[in-house]
Amino acid sequence: MAVDVRWATTGDAVALGVMLCEMAVHYRQPPLDSERAMAAARKWLGEESPAYQHFALAFVDGEVAGLASVAIAHPGIDLERLLFLKDLFVRDHARNAGVGRALIGFLASHCLSEGIGRIDLTTEDWNEGALRFYAQLGVERHGQKIFLRLSGEALAAAAKS
């Protein structure tokens, strides 16, 4: 099965919207309204500069099969930038067919070509499939950091301070 991976463009809003809806269900969130997801995808893809990519999409036979949502952070170790992989998601019917590996390979190649020194990522502790997948890639568990979140009322309070 040939997997085509590329950076998402404004023409990929529908594909990105489909992925956002399926991700919400997979990550045990309430289902998203598809129109709302499509509107968000159009907005996000339309406002980004070409030099900074947020989404890589994987296609199999022209149908969207996977998504990587990323951010580039400065500086990393020894002044090298890092790529933070926020989400890697492969649709149920395309799992175990090389889509995830193709997305990671695409991101790794991008890092090497752009002088980005590493990929950092997180996954839920209950997501055993993701943990197995990352272990097969040689991803090391890095116990030096604790994942924290500022949201809701605490976010609003921080904005006022």
The 10s digit of each residue's pLDDT in 75-101 is 766 778 889 999 999 999 999 999 999
- The yes-or-no verdict on residue 50 having pLDDT over 60 is no
Beta-carbon contacts of 133 under 8 Å, excluding residues fewer than 6 positions away, are: 100
For the chain, percent of residues with pLDDT exceeding 90: 54
- Residues 1-27 have pLDDT tens digits of 799 999 999 899 999 999 999 999 988
pLDDT band at 104 (very low <50, low <70, confident <90, very high): very high
Q: Return the exposure string of 64-74: e unless at least 16 CB atoms fall within 10 Å of the residue's CB, then b.
A: bbbbbbbebee
Q: Which among 3-17, 112-126, 131-145 has the top mean pLDDT?
A: 3-17
- The yes-or-no verdict on residue 53 having pLDDT over 70 is no
Residue with tokens 């400065």: 74
Over residues 35-44, the mean pLDDT reads 93
- The yes-or-no verdict on residue 52 having pLDDT over 70 is no
In the sheet with 63-73, reading across from the earlier edge strand, the strands are 3-7, 55-60, 63-73, 81-90, 116-121
Mean pLDDT of the chain: 89
Q: What domains does the chain contain, in order, with CATH numbers?
A: 3-160 (3.40.630.30)
Q: Can you give the pTM of this predicted structure? A: 0.86
Over residues 153-158, the mean pLDDT reads 90
Cα 111–chain centre separation? 15
